[in-house]
Amino acid sequence: MPVLTYREFMPPIPPPVPEASDSNASQAMLREEFHRIADERYARLVATGKTIPWESVRDRLLRFCAADSSPSAKREEGRL
């Protein structure tokens, strides 16, 4: 079974709007960088088979959601 890259799982991205070429160029660069990093991470995952156990991820998400860490909450508490 061939190993697919991250991009093969992503839906196609529509072409940029021609009027805003500067912002589209920077968005395209950011998108390319995002996909490059995702491809590297996915290749490492396939090569090693190592992942984060779901229990660890779930616990961290629950702790994150329990503590309001939004910038507005920090600002109100004087932490920002």
Confidence at residue 27, expressed as pLDDT on a 0 to 100 scale: 87
Same domain membership, residue 58 and residue 34: no
Same domain membership, residue 59 and residue 36: no
Percent of the chain with pLDDT over 70: 56
> Is the pLDDT at 33 greater than 90, yes or no?
yes
Range of the domain at 66: 52-80
Same domain membership, residue 60 and residue 41: no
Same domain membership, residue 77 and residue 56: yes
| Confidence category of residue 16, pLDDT binned at 50, 70, 90 | low
Number of domains within the chain: 2
The mean predicted confidence, pLDDT, of the chain is 77
> Is the pLDDT at 72 greater than 80, yes or no?
no
| Cβ 10 vs Cβ 42: under 8 Å | no
Same domain membership, residue 31 and residue 10: yes
Same domain membership, residue 18 and residue 7: yes
CA distance 37 to 31: 10
